[in-house]
Amino acid sequence: MFIIAMTLLFSVQVSKDHPRYKSLVIREMMSERVREGIVSQTGLIAHGRGEAFDYLLGEVTTPPALAAERAATACLLEAGRPVISVNGNTAALSAKDIVLLSKATGAKIEVNLFHRTEERADLVCTFMEAAGAQHVLGRNPDALLSGITSDRAKCSKEGIFSADVVLVPLEDGDRTEALVKAGKKVIVVDLNPLSRSARAATITVVDEVTRAIPNMLAMVPKLSHERERRSILAGFDNSQNRKASLDLICARLRAIGSEGKG
1 binds a copy of itself (CB under 8 A): no
Q: Interface with a copy of itself includes 71 (CB under 8 A)?
A: no
Residue 257 interacts with a copy of itself (CB under 8 A)? yes
**Cβ–Cβ < 8 Å for 249, 193:** yes
CA dihedral of residues 72, 62, 28, 133 (deg, nearest 10): -20
Nearer to a copy of itself, 8 or 246 (CB): 246
| Per-residue contact string for residues 139-168; x = within reach of a copy of itself by CB under 8 A | ----------x-------------------
CA–CA dist 195, 236 (Å, integer) = 20
- Rounded to the nearest angstrom, the gap between the alpha carbon of residue 3 and the centroid of all alpha carbons in its chain is 19
Question: Exposed, middle or buried, 156 (CB in 10 Å: 0-12/13-18/19+)?
Answer: buried
Q: Does 60 bind a copy of itself (CB under 8 A)?
A: no
The verdict on 192 binding a copy of itself (CB under 8 A) reads: yes
Handedness of CA 75, 73, 134, 122 (dihedral sign): positive
Does 120 engage in binding with a copy of itself (CB under 8 A)?
no
Q: Is 12 in the site for a copy of itself (CB under 8 A)?
A: no
Q: Whole-number minimum distance, CB 22 to a copy of itself, in Å? A: 14
Q: Quick one: 18 or 230, whose CB is closer to a copy of itself?
A: 18
DSSP states along 107-138: -EEEE--SS--HHHHHHHHHHHHHTT-SSEE-
Binding site for a copy of itself (CB under 8 A): 15, 19, 27-28, 30-31, 34, 41-42, 44-53, 55, 149, 173, 192-194, 196, 199-200, 239, 242-243, 246, 249-250, 253-254, 256-257, 260-262
